[in-house]
Amino acid sequence: MSKDRKFNIKNPKNRTKSIWLTSGLAQFIVLLNGMIITIAAFMVFSYFINSMTTEEHKRTSDEAGRALFDSISKLENSMRLIASIIQLSDNKNKDRLVARIRRNISDLGNFDQLIWLYEETPGNWQFKTIYDHSYSSETKNIYRLIPDKEFITRIVKDGFFKDERLRFVSDFVGMDYIEEKSEPKTMARSFAFLKSVKEGDSSKGIVIGISRAELLFDQSLISEDRSVSRITIKDKANDRRLYHMKRTDFLDNSLEQSEVSQEYGFSIGDSEWNIVIEFTKTQNAILLEKIPYIMLFFGIILTAIGTLFIRNNSKQSKKLAEINYKLEQKNFELQSEISERSRLNEALAIAERDNRAIIDSVSDVIFEVDIYGTVLFLSAAWQTITGFETERSCGGNIFSMIYPQDQDKQRQDFELLVKGQKHAYRSFTRLRVSDGTFRAVELAFSMIRQDENKKLRVVGTITDVEERRRAERALAEAEKKYRTIVENAAGGLYQLTPEGIYLSANPAMARILGYASPEEMLRNIKNANGVVYPDKNERNKLYETLISQGQVFGYESKVIKKDGSKIWVRENIRVVRDDQQNIMYFEGSMEDITKRKEADIALMEAKIQSDMASRAKTEFIANMSHELRTPLNAIIGFSEIMKNEVLGPLGQEVYKEYAKDINESGTGLLKIINEILDISKIESGNKEINESEFLLSEVVETCLDLYSSRVKEKNIMIINQANNYPVIIGEALSIKQVLGNVYSNAIKYTPDGGRITIFTNYDMDGTFRLSITDTGVGMSHSEVSKALSPFGQLDNDLDRSSSGTGLGLPLSKAIMDVHGGRLEIMSEKSIGTTVTLVFPSERVIRHSEPVSS
């Protein structure tokens, strides 16, 4: 035995005593822990089950109370809403008013009856039935209110008209506490809400709503929750039951004694209700409460079983202690031999591990095979390259792992090496890897040696060359792909030296310049700066730009083709430099844009012709307008003299009417001519505006006053929400003309009784907006475009007598454009139109101080 190793064999008596003490302590711990866990589980489950039952009762009662409270609130709101509708109406047509109430109040189904009682004349009481629930023969005992003389006398006597409080009544004659259902047994009493329409005014009347708790309370509460046994609703003011429901289908005397209840109250009208919900423990609840006791019983049983199991194990341990003592003696004798052998094996393993680490550190695979190719040894690099474990591959044939087509050749060379007919050699082949593919490797057979048994062994290496082969193939593929892209590109690609010599070009480049092939182009063009690009000065400027910026995009110029014709091309060019930043060549692409250039030139010429024609039309209209205004002024002036009878009576009254018609027609025609002239001036650019600072609010007020009579004739409601008007820099007369056109259109297209709204606001950038919204006929998108075109008129069913000339909105838009603003129109058919005058921030002074004259 080695001197540094010692073995201690204990006395068997001491060992047995130790086992007994350990066993007793274990039995006590198991018993104590089992009882603690059992009692704790019993207490936790008891508390959890009681809490769950209490929470379930509280949730059920809260849901029932909340549902009843929501329904009562809806009844109260319905009563107040009906009273408000009657009070706000003129009460002339009672039937129409009742129909309106039925149409607007959606919660009438919660009433048995809704009656409006009013005093038509002093002493003459009438009533209208707003709602009456239809009942079957099963509900014939339900209370029905008939407003007879006795009932009216009580209503007046009890002072229900003195104030507008919502009253609650449950003691009308006939409101008996009756049985509505036998299962579950349900007793209920009808009750009434009374709400006077107007305080102290019996002519406005009183609204009476008859209802029952059954209409407000969800009866499914009893059928769905088996723990609910009773529900009672009581009027606390009169100590009178309104509703009582009790289950009797599964309850017995023993369960009756275990009931719990939830009680709460809330106000309703001028009274207060008290609700009591009682719960009974169901068979499932009682069974659930017994679960903790069942767990307590089984916990005690399991604790006892565990204690007995530990006790039995201790007896077995005593017997095993004696046997182990004898075995330890035998083991003690063997330890000396084992320790010495272990020391020698450890030394051998260390040496072998060091040698293996050196071999495995080599990136190439080092292998050893016998003369038949059977693998005897593989280094760790084998698994790295192939993915196969070395233990799995050892024992296999090295040549079966090679690409099938190379196996015969490799075997022949290996046999020659073994026979001494060939020296060590290397060869390229492919080796199978774990994913089923083959990987390129360099296979080398280096030497032949003899092992301890005088058997020949061949040592070799395997080098992974897959990445190198893959890089070579990728480079070849990239060159091929690049060549294909360049040769098949739709645009021309080229490389050009600063001296004008083409280094390369693709077929598209040759086709653009009229050559049959790139070779012909490179052979014939000796200097592109003179042959292809005729303007040398322009080319030199392009080279200077390229040198300074490095690249140019979208450069357009003319080039000369092989046949001498010139075409337009578009080029993208960049400079290619070497490591010393010397210019090697220019690399670029070329696109033939001759057709697009010719189309652009033709389009520009057509636009010039169109502008000239438009200007000629505008000048003609302006000249004609001036020529027409001269005789019109005479017509208007003489007709004004005749209409006012300045030179004496006309004799016949009809002549005066004729003179008035002539004057009005002439004035209207002059207005049209002035609008045409203004539009012509704006289109021709001759419109001059006399700018000044003016208060926009004064312009708006002037327009409102000017058209106030037309607004009154059509009974249109004007809602003026505009505020914080700014001071505007511009021509006040033109802005007044724009605002007048927009406002008059809104009046014209708004039906009688419609509404026009004026409002203002500022944008973030200081832009001011003045908007006019009407509830008129509206316009579609196409009609808006038509309305903004000169002489564009829309069908106006509201005012055909004054349909206009169609120049108002176009002129308004042109005036706003001259001021740098906008005229925006948003409209929808049959809904209305919003026209907004947008003033730019540079014309807006955001204050409303008076402007000095």
Q: 71-129, pLDDT tens digit by residue?
A: 888 888 888 888 888 888 876 788 888 888 888 887 788 888 899 888 888 888 888 88
DSSP secondary structure letters along 313-324: HHHHHHHHHHHH
* Residue corresponding to tokens 């089992």: 34
At a CB cut-off of 8 Å and minimum separation 6, what does 723 contact? 760
pLDDT at 343: 77
* Residue corresponding to tokens 């077929």: 507
Q: Is the pLDDT of residue 421 over 70?
A: yes
Give the residue-averaged pLDDT of 133-161: 77
Query: Which two tokens mark 835?
Result: 């026209």
- The Cα–Cα gap between 615 and 617 comes to 5
Go through the chain and tell me how many residues it has. Answer: 853
Q: 423-463, pLDDT tens digit by residue?
A: 888 888 888 888 888 888 888 888 888 877 888 888 899 88
Name the more confident of 580 and 69.
580
Strand partners, 17: none
- The Cα–Cα gap between 515 and 507 comes to 9
CA atoms within a 13 Å half-sphere pointing along the CA-CB vector of 33? 8
Angstrom CA distances, 815 to 183, 615, 730, 735, 741, stand at 83, 19, 10, 8, 12
pLDDT at 773: 93
Q: What is the largest CA-CA distance in the chain?
A: 162
List Cβ<8 Å contacts ≥24 apart for 15-18: 15/321, 15/325, 16/318, 16/321, 16/322
pLDDT at 6: 44
- The Cα–Cα gap between 604 and 598 comes to 10
pLDDT at 840: 93
Q: Is the pLDDT of residue 658 over 50?
A: yes
Tell me if 180 sits within 8 A of 187, measured CB to CB: yes
Q: 660-705, pLDDT tens digit by residue?
A: 778 777 776 766 666 666 666 666 555 666 788 889 888 899 889 9
Mapped onto helix, strand or coil, the DSSP state of residue 135 is coil
Closest listed residue to residue 127, CA positions, set 165, 164, 155:
155
At a CB cut-off of 8 Å and minimum separation 6, what does 488 contact? none
Handedness of CA 230, 233, 236, 240 (dihedral sign): negative
Strand order in the sheet with 727-730: 692-695, 727-730, 844-845
- The Cα–Cα gap between 684 and 682 comes to 5
Q: 371-385, pLDDT tens digit by residue?
A: 888 888 888 888 888
Average pLDDT, the chain: 79
Strand partners, 182: 185
DSSP designation for 682: H
Residue 685, φ and ψ in degrees, nearest 5: 80, 15
- The Cα–Cα gap between 162 and 577 comes to 104
Tell me if 510 sits within 8 A of 516, measured CB to CB: yes
Tell me if 456 sits within 8 A of 440, measured CB to CB: no
CA atoms within a 13 Å half-sphere pointing along the CA-CB vector of 256? 7
Tell me if 12 sits within 8 A of 321, measured CB to CB: yes
* Residue corresponding to tokens 């140019």: 552
Q: Is the pLDDT of residue 805 over 70?
A: no
- Tell me the residue ranges of DSSP E strands in 433-538: 438-450, 456-464, 492-496, 502-505
Label residue 660 exposed, middle or buried (CB < 10 Å: 0-12, 13-18, 19+). Answer: middle
pLDDT at 836: 93
- The Cα–Cα gap between 129 and 131 comes to 6
CA atoms within a 13 Å half-sphere pointing along the CA-CB vector of 29? 7
Tell me if 599 sits within 8 A of 607, measured CB to CB: no
Mapped onto helix, strand or coil, the DSSP state of residue 297 is helix
Query: Which two tokens mark 73?
Result: 């609130």
DSSP secondary structure letters along 624-641: HHHHHHHHHHHHHHHHHH
Query: Which two tokens mark 792?
Result: 């564009």
Q: 249-301, pLDDT tens digit by residue?
A: 644 444 444 457 778 787 887 888 888 888 777 667 777 777 888 888 888 88
- The Cα–Cα gap between 194 and 269 comes to 9
Q: Is the pLDDT of residue 852 over 50?
A: no
Strand partners, 336: none
Q: What angle do CA 703, 707, 708 make, to 5 degrees?
A: 110
Using omega within 30 degrees of 0 as the cis cutoff, is the peptide bond preceding 184 cis?
yes
Band of the pLDDT at 538, cuts 50, 70, 90? confident
Tell me if 563 sits within 8 A of 535, measured CB to CB: no
Amino acid at 279: F
Query: Which two tokens mark 715?
Result: 């009974």
DSSP secondary structure letters along 238-283: TTEEEEEEE--SS--HHHHTT-EEEEEEEEETTEEEEEEEEE---H
- The Cα–Cα gap between 169 and 191 comes to 6
Q: Is the pLDDT of residue 9 over 60?
A: no
pLDDT at 37: 87
DSSP secondary structure letters along 466-487: HHHHHHHHHHHHHHHHHHHHHH
Q: Is the pLDDT of residue 364 over 90?
A: no
Using omega within 30 degrees of 0 as the cis cutoff, is the peptide bond preceding 12 cis?
no
Per-residue b/e over 8-29, b at no fewer than 16 CB within 10 Å?
eeeeeeebbeebeeebeebbee
Tell me if 366 sits within 8 A of 359, measured CB to CB: yes
Closest listed residue to residue 770, CA positions, set 821, 705, 718, 710:
821
Q: Is the pLDDT of residue 23 over 70?
A: no
Q: 498-532, pLDDT tens digit by residue?
A: 888 988 888 888 888 889 888 888 888 888 888 88
Tell me if 416 sits within 8 A of 393, measured CB to CB: no
Handedness of CA 486, 487, 489, 492 (dihedral sign): positive
pLDDT at 159: 81
Strand order in the sheet with 717-720: 717-720, 755-762, 768-774, 832-839, 822-828
Percent of the chain topping pLDDT 90: 6
At a CB cut-off of 8 Å and minimum separation 6, what does 603 contact? none
Name the more confident of 276 and 203.
276
pTM of the predicted model, to two decimals? Answer: 0.35
Tell me if 667 sits within 8 A of 700, measured CB to CB: no
- The Cα–Cα gap between 677 and 618 comes to 9
Q: Is the pLDDT of residue 755 over 90?
A: yes
Q: Is the pLDDT of residue 17 over 70?
A: no
Q: Is the pLDDT of residue 14 over 70?
A: no
DSSP secondary structure letters along 533-575: ---HHHHHHHHHHHHHHSEEEEEEEEEE-TTS-EEEEEEEEEE
Strand partners, 109: none
Q: Compute CA 815 distance to the chain's CA centroid, rounded to the nearest angstrom.
A: 43
